[in-house]
Chains A and B, each alone.
Chain A
Amino acid sequence: MFPIGVLAEVYEKQGGEAFAITPVGSTAGILALERGMAALGMIARPLLPEEKARGLREIPIGHDVLVVVVHPSNPVNNLRKDDLRQIWEWRSAYWSEFGGPRIRTLPHGREYGSGAHAIWSEVIGTTNYALPISPDGSLIRQEVMIDRRAVGYVGLRHLRRGGVKAIRVEGMAHTDPAYPLKYHVSLVVGPKSPPAVWRFVRFVRSAEGQRIVAEEGLIPLGQEELTTPLEP
């Protein structure tokens, strides 16, 4: 997940308050937020309706993309969503079907329940989820880096580490504004979060905060998103 800790570090160095930040996509995380044990949460999927009903609120701080990556030696440069679905459902067994060598395809995914998995399933529409999984995008990058068969999806900051090759989806590079696997990364404020949290939220959405967001591998928010009023 995006290193929100870096933002908190900078904020603290500038004399701001220290916050406990918890990943929300989990029972313990939501509980910590609702009981006021963590001041802030982070989430990569939209909040569920029942989570919103319990008083949790999401505030977008940037975009991330799921970049489709393959081994650097793989000559394939583009896959359609339908191709990806075929590979993920084990119906396309060889790279030769997409203009590559006659090497097996081996899709790597994230574990069920993670934000990345939810977005991938929604956009690509895979149902038959049977494949190697990793508990973090950085592990998927390492698995793809060493395996000519592999294809996986990782966040932007993992791609920046190199060792893997990004390919286009539906002809679009991940830098394209219309890239289909793009999603919001949000902070989540709970009913018991202290008011000081909003100062941090404003910092993250300030010009400096957005600069750090970009440095750490997210796509900064657009101007119109930044001007939406925030107050509770």
Chain B
Amino acid sequence: MMRAVLTAIALLVVGVVGGLIGLVLVKGLPGVSGSLLWSAAERLGEAGGLRPVLTSTVVIVGGAILLVVPIGLSAATWLQEYAPPSLWVEQVRRLIEALAGIPSVLYGLFGFSLFAVGLGWGWSHLTAMATLALMLLPMVIQTGAEALRTVPDELREGARALGATRWETVRYSLFPAAAPGIVTGVLLALGRALGESAAVLLTAGGDLRQPQSLLDQGRPLAAHLYHLTILDADPNRIWATAAVLVGLVLIVQLTASWLGARLQR
């Protein structure tokens, strides 16, 4: 009896999630063509293609990842390898954990206040990528620290025994050993950045011309899907855009979980 009920619930969840993804891909992919992906947008994105949107997506998401990885890994390394076991370090850990719980729209609000208005970058690619980088920081730090934590202590002791400094140990034995875990974490962050709209809506602006500089406005995929929806654009176009977005996120996720599975072996 109980087994039947729980199985039914699990099947329901599988059905809803599988149905949602299947529907998006089945209804959307036929509309995804070379010209949709490569031609310029026209009429506020209701006609033409996704080229400026995809360009902005690559620039903003890629830029955010480039910003977040060195900062995030530095913090992860310090927390895991250098930090003395003391109360205030524990507080620092807690603050970083707290960062992970801040809603994305608030990162957007902060980025708008600090980067767009405060530093005068306006709505721009630069503002959006800096904002997303802040949003992704706790995620990259936590997965990075976790990856370093799982490196066996023998590696540390071995390197030390050979006379390596602490930094050399980190650089030449720990990072390579932790690399798959670190990369998995970065990929998860990448997926999150691709799907983020609220923070981007407040920081990137909405222009649809091919961006020429980092200070130009832009509209990445997820934000574009929102704009198409409120404009009541052609449903086929909405499905196709959703399929591109979901497809990209799925590819990133599957790569991450494939790497994660390899890691466990």
6 additional A-B pairs beyond A28-B123, A29-B123, A37-B124, beta carbons within 8 Å, are A6-B44, A22-B123, A28-B117, A31-B120, A37-B122, A38-B122
List the B side residues contacting A35 at CB < 8 Å.
120, 122
In the complex, whether B232 has a CB less than 8 A from a CB of chain A is yes
Q: With A135-B230, A138-B230, A138-B232 as given contacts, are A21 and B207 in contact (CB-CB < 8 Å)?
A: yes
Cβ proximity bits A9-50 to B, threshold 8 Å, 1 near / 0 not: 100100000101110000111011001011000000000000
List the A side residues contacting B246 at CB < 8 Å.
none
Name the CB-closest residue of A to B208: A5
Cβ proximity bits B153-177 to A, threshold 8 Å, 1 near / 0 not: 0000000000000000000000000
In the complex, whether A160 has a CB less than 8 A from a CB of chain B is no
The interface centre, meaning the residue of A20, A22, A141 with most chain B CB atoms within 10 A of its CB, is: A20
Inter-chain CA distance A18–B230, complex, in Å, is 27
In the complex, whether A161 has a CB less than 8 A from a CB of chain B is yes
The interface centre, meaning the residue of A21, A28, A35 with most chain B CB atoms within 10 A of its CB, is: A28
* Interface of chain A residues 175 through 202 with chain B (CB within 8 A): none
- Whether A8 lies near B209 (C-beta < 8 A) is yes
CB distance from B23 to the nearest CB of A (A): 21
B122's partner among A6, A28, A134, A142 (CB-CB below 8 A) is A28
List the A side residues contacting B97 at CB < 8 Å.
none
List the A side residues contacting B44 at CB < 8 Å.
3, 5-6
CB distance from A181 to the nearest CB of B (A): 22
B217's partner among A18, A20, A31, A138 (CB-CB below 8 A) is A20
| 23 cross-chain CB contacts under 8 A | A3-B44, A5-B44, A5-B208, A6-B43, A9-B209, A12-B209, A21-B207, A22-B122, A22-B205, A22-B217, A28-B117, A31-B122, A37-B121, A37-B122, A37-B124, A38-B122, A135-B230, A138-B231, A138-B232, A139-B230, A141-B232, A142-B232, A161-B232
Inter-chain CA distance A173–B27, complex, in Å, is 41
Inter-chain CA distance A31–B121, complex, in Å, is 9
List the B side residues contacting A12 at CB < 8 Å.
209
Inter-chain CA distance A37–B123, complex, in Å, is 10
* Interface of chain A residues 143 through 170 with chain B (CB within 8 A): 161
List the A side residues contacting B239 at CB < 8 Å.
none
In the complex, whether B107 has a CB less than 8 A from a CB of chain A is no
CB distance from A228 to the nearest CB of B (A): 29
In the complex, whether B212 has a CB less than 8 A from a CB of chain A is yes
List the A side residues contacting B120 at CB < 8 Å.
31, 35, 37
In the complex, whether A58 has a CB less than 8 A from a CB of chain B is no
The interface centre, meaning the residue of B116, B123, B205, B216 with most chain A CB atoms within 10 A of its CB, is: B123
Q: With A20-B207, A21-B207, A27-B117 as given contacts, are A136 and B230 in contact (CB-CB < 8 Å)?
A: yes
Name the CB-closest residue of A to B120: A35
* Interface of chain B residues 27 through 48 with chain A (CB within 8 A): 42-44
Q: With A8-B209, A18-B212 as given contacts, are A32 and B122 in contact (CB-CB < 8 Å)?
A: yes
Inter-chain CA distance A21–B43, complex, in Å, is 15
Name the CB-closest residue of A to B112: A28
List the A side residues contacting B43 at CB < 8 Å.
3, 6
- Across chains A and B, which 5 residue pairs bring their CB atoms closest together, nearest first? A32-B122, A37-B122, A28-B116, A139-B230, A138-B231
Cβ proximity bits B99-134 to A, threshold 8 Å, 1 near / 0 not: 000000000000010001100111110000000000
In the complex, whether B17 has a CB less than 8 A from a CB of chain A is no
List the B side residues contacting A32 at CB < 8 Å.
122-123
Inter-chain CA distance A135–B230, complex, in Å, is 9
Inter-chain CA distance A169–B121, complex, in Å, is 43
In the complex, whether B215 has a CB less than 8 A from a CB of chain A is yes
